[in-house]
Structure 1
Amino acid sequence: MSKWYMITTNLLFACLGIAFMAFGLLGYRDSFKGATLFPHIIFTLMAILGAVIIVAALFGILGAYVKKKSLILVYMAIVLIALVYQVVIGVKVYQKASNTMQYLSTLWSSSNVHYRTHIQDQFSCCGFNNVMDNPAITDVCNPQHGIASAPPPCFDALTSYVHTSFKQVYLVVFAALAIEILALSNAITLLCTQAMDPDDEERRRRRKSGIRLDDLQSPDTLTGPNNHYYDEPKRENRKPDTINDNRYDSYDQYKQKQSNTYGDKYY
């Protein structure tokens, strides 16, 4: 059961790693709306985390077939590294989401015109708090052409996006820790199984199959007169307790004994 459980858990683990890697690569290439609002270091860390998880899953599946303690220990070490790495990513995303206004204000003021233009085009907005707040001048967003004709400010759209998207990301990251904990628990189970005495494991298996426990005993561990391995004490060390135990050295001694008992008339 632990073998198939290990395989199933690590297949889920590998799927999680693929998802993290895909998210990191797509975000790094700015392949979805609002990707530039995430710190680029998050996407790099996500891609690395996905690769680490995939490697750990491969070690876990291999450990289900190759019963080596060293392999399971390496697997556990990689999973622990991935777990800590994942917690760090979740905390970083949570910090940005919990302080949205300061994060977006700093991001907008420190970014260049090309970045602000890209954000304004994606969210159809102009400026930050208002159309006059450090906008990127474009054909659509140009306060000189009139404030009334300009798109709405970017503050509301960006704040709503960060609250929703960042929250979803860190919730998924923290929830995925459950899969890694399952993987660790199964690895510990395999270590405990390998640490069991092989004789005890064989005894447990045969007990379930209905074989008598006496048949599993070895001759060296059995004592008592009721089993076929019982070694009867040597006769020369026993004292005769009945007449049947007496032995005579010669036929003459036997004949003399019978003569004294019954007389010579029988001989």
Structure 2
Amino acid sequence: MTTCCARLSKVYMITTNLLYACLGVAFIALGLIGMRDGFSGATLFPENVFKYLAILGAIICVASIVGIIGAYIRKTTVTYLYMIIIIGALVFQVLIGIRVYQKAANAAHYLSDLWPVASASYRLNLQNQFSCCGYQTIIDNYVESDTCQPTASLTSKLPPCAPALQSFVKSTFGKVYLAIFAALALELLAMSNAITLLCTGSHVDQDEEDDRRKRRKSGIRLDDMTVDTPTTLVGQEEPKYYAYSNNQEDMNQSNRYDSYDMYRHTNSPNHYSDNHNANTFNNSRLANGNGGAYY
């Protein structure tokens, strides 16, 4: 059951981080396109927002790589590093979303403060992109161009830029901050997976796993593992034990055989006959001469 859960967790971790990496690539692409003014109205976004989006995408890609590595290398340090990067990316992403939302919620105030202080090239770019002239009126801080000439006839005049710019900010900014906040679901999903690995106990340190693997190879039951349990592999210590045991058995067996041979020799008929002849010989010597020489 634990092995099955570990495999499912591994697949879930890889899938989540692949989706997370796609989100990071999308943020990087959006940031690079916005910094190059790749679409109409890109310059209306708050300053450095696209740069922050590109940095956020890079952080998310790094987090996804660490998460995929953590799916294969089950180390606590890797998981904690993964969680720290996700938390940093999440906070950074929320701050960007809040900033974009504030501008979208107060589009009129944001643009009325932006237009007067903007440079002539900036306002000219917006007039050309939205086909307008001036801001509130055609003579309100306008930049003269081929299409924006307030002194010309009424038929050649363009509408003021305020309505078009406010509509763009409300719609486009709204879509961007909704996408940013919706993307938080992937980060929370990845975070929940990392927390689950730590809390359920399915996360096993790699060093501990290596030690357990060595113990299994040594033939020692995992239930009998203690601090004093030897971890020497078979072929080093155990042969000494077996060799000692075999020598002891051989010695015991040899002692048993020696005892049996001595008993058999002592109690054999030949041994009894030899003893009887020796006693008869001694008695005859005593009878002939009180221990004299016998010829």
Which deviations, in whole Å up to 9, do the C-alpha atoms of 1:182-213 show, x marking residues without a partner?
Answer: 00010112223446799xxxxxxxxxxxxxxx
Amino acid at match of 1:179: L
TM-score (norm 1): 0.72
Q: CA deviation at 1:148?
A: 4.1
1:60-99 correspondence to structure 2 within 5 Å: 60-99=67-106
Amino acid at match of 2:153: G
CA contact (8 A) 2:76 2:203 kept: no
CA distance 1:72–1:145, shift in 2 (3 Å): same
CA contact (8 A) 2:75 2:203 kept: no
* Counterpart pick for 1:35 among 28, 35, 42: 42
Between the aligned partners of 2:152 and 2:84, the Cα distance in structure 1 is: 61
* Counterpart pick for 1:106 among 101, 113, 128: 113
CA distance 1:120–1:196, shift in 2 (3 Å): closer
Determine the structure 1 residue equivalent to 2:160. 153
CA contact (8 A) 2:63 2:82 kept: yes
CA contact (8 A) 2:29 2:54 kept: yes
CA contact (8 A) 2:28 2:53 kept: yes
1:3 equivalent to 2:10? Answer yes
Between the aligned partners of 2:22 and 2:94, the Cα distance in structure 1 is: 18
Match of 1:140, SS?
coil
Look at both structures and tell me which one has the larger radius of gyration over its CA atoms: 2
Match of 1:145, SS?
coil
Between the aligned partners of 1:111 and 1:55, the Cα distance in structure 2 is: 37
CA distance 1:132–1:197, shift in 2 (3 Å): closer
CA distance 1:3–1:46, shift in 2 (3 Å): same
Amino acid at match of 1:74: L
1:1-267 correspondence to structure 2 within 5 Å: 1-194=8-201, 218=223
CA contact (8 A) 1:67 1:194 kept: no
Determine the structure 1 residue equivalent to 2:245. none
Q: CA deviation at 1:40?
A: 2.9
- Which segments of 5 or more consecutive residues in structure 2 lack a partner in the other structure? 1-7, 206-220, 226-295
Match of 2:123, SS?
helix
CA distance 1:191–1:131, shift in 2 (3 Å): same
Between the aligned partners of 1:153 and 1:116, the Cα distance in structure 2 is: 12
CA contact (8 A) 1:56 1:78 kept: yes
Match of 2:151, SS?
helix
Aligned length: 203
CA contact (8 A) 1:131 1:147 kept: no
Alignment root-mean-square deviation, CA: 1.9
Q: Percent identity?
A: 53
Q: CA deviation at 1:144?
A: 1.4
Which deviations, in whole Å up to 9, do the C-alpha atoms of 1:76-118 show, x marking residues without a partner?
Answer: 0000000000000000000000111110111111111111110
Which deviations, in whole Å up to 9, do the C-alpha atoms of 1:29-57 show, x marking residues without a partner?
Answer: 00011101112311111010000000000
Determine the structure 2 residue equivalent to 1:203. none
Amino acid at match of 2:134: G
Which deviations, in whole Å up to 9, do the C-alpha atoms of 1:140-194 show, x marking residues without a partner?
Answer: 1011113442111111111110010000000000111110000001011222344
Between the aligned partners of 1:217 and 1:138, the Cα distance in structure 2 is: 84
Determine the structure 2 residue equivalent to 1:237. none
